[in-house]
Amino acid sequence: MAGASDKARFYLEQSVPELQELERKQIFSKTEITAITKKRSDFEHKLNARGSYPADYARYAEYEMNLEALRRKRIKRLGIKGATKHVGQRRIFFILDRATRKFHGDVGLWMQYIEYAKKEKSYKKLSQILSSVLRMHPTKPELWLYAAQSAIDLEADMTAARGYMQRGLRFCKNSKTLWLEYAKLEMIYIAKIAARRTILGLDQELQRKAEGPSLDDHDADMLALPEITAEDIDPSLRKDNDLDQLARQNLESMPAFTGAIPMAVFDTGMKQFQDDDTVGEMFFNMFAEFEKLPCLPTILQHVVDRMLAHTPLSPSTLTCYCRQPIVGVDVVSADFPAALGVSIERLREASPKATNQARFAEKSLGWLLPPLAVEELDTNIRKVIAVVVRQSIRSIGGEGAELNAEKVAALGDKLHGAGLQEDAMRLLSKGIELYGSHDGLLAIQDKIQQSQ
């Protein structure tokens, strides 16, 4: 026990100069300094004695964080200049470093350490902490995700984020979440590149040059005089324009812009999971969130082609195949009716082929119902979708269905929200027939009856 007391005394003596300065500058009163000293003494004796716990370190660090926040507020309020700024921060880092060294298996302590470094904007320290925790816990996918996200959010370092993801996948090959998030990271990067091009006006400029003069121009029906440019006067200037055009073409063909990297991640992930159709559907749904990307049709076609090649009749594959034409198409645009027609035609062809028709019908409702919730949707299109929805409802309770009472209630609520009250009631009646008087089913049924 003497050893523990000696250690506690040693750590307490190191804080004496700091406390003396706080009292001299009247940031804290003598009474407050005494209370601080006693509190620290209690913590240090507890930490250095046998039987300390991770929570003891966490509480000590939390106390010092609150004390440091109070110290900064008083310095600002009193207008004191020349006060040391990083003494409290160093002390907190020291406590958390001791904690993670002693209890390196406690992820909660590591996260407290990481969050504090991020809050203090100590990015160099944060990088060191992340390296340490990943060495200690290389098989935890959430830590690799956190490290990659930090690299993007705090330092905008895509190379470092990719490095974290790729190293993480070496240790966590079977983490579906990590594979999906890596592909999502690459999609976000493409979206940022596309957004920059839009902000800089590069896309509009190229489109304007390709289309030529607009018919809306006042002088469109008149013979246009040739423009005299600086290049006509000095042909040597054309070299720069040619270089700019070449640079733009090279940018458009880069793998980071064409979607080649997300497709490579998808292919490797599917190979890892033996082309599991449910994993393929998860990739498809994630990619479909990036509706405005120019390369999205290419990526989705690649996903669907691979799924059709390996699991052509599974409900997940056929759902992606049927939904693909309408992904990224605005439901109130002129292109939507044609795209919807292709999707419905695919649905009718695929329905009798599916290995699990009931499950396929359930999944079909997932992409058929959202357009009905759009108030501006054309009435005729709404009627067509409603007919297809009714056909799917007839199959969802069949053999092989994965429904339960909660799912039926949720679908009934969606149908009600889409204005298909009769279909919702029909579905709920079937649900009550299958699962009995379930509270969720009865509640939605009452809700629909009251609204009629």
Label residue 231 by pLDDT band (50, 70, 90).
Answer: very low
Neighbours of 138 (CB within 10 A): 14
Amino acid at 237: L
Q: What is residue 112's predicted lDDT score, i.e. its pLDDT?
A: 95
pLDDT tens-digit series, residues 419-447? 777 777 777 776 776 667 777 777 777 77
CA distance 210 to 162: 36
pLDDT tens-digit series, residues 45-98? 899 888 889 999 999 999 999 999 999 898 888 887 766 667 889 999 999 999
Q: What is residue 9's predicted lDDT score, i.e. its pLDDT?
A: 86
330 is written with which tokens?
A: 């605005």
CA torsion through residues 233, 239, 241, 242, sign: positive
Is 218's pLDDT higher than 60?
A: no
Select from 56, 160, 34, 187 the least CA-distant residue to 109: 56
CA distance 193 to 290: 13
Q: What is residue 228's predicted lDDT score, i.e. its pLDDT?
A: 45
Q: What is the DSSP letter of 226?
A: P
- Read off the pLDDT of each residue in 120-140 and give the average, rounded to a whole number: 93
409 is written with which tokens?
A: 């209630």
Q: What is residue 51's predicted lDDT score, i.e. its pLDDT?
A: 83
CA distance 272 to 262: 15
Average pLDDT score, the chain: 83
CA distance 419 to 413: 10
Burial environment of residue 412 by CB neighbours within 10 A (0 to 12, 13 to 18, 19 or more): buried
pLDDT tens-digit series, residues 54-68? 999 999 999 999 999
Percent of the chain past pLDDT 90, that is, above it, reads 48
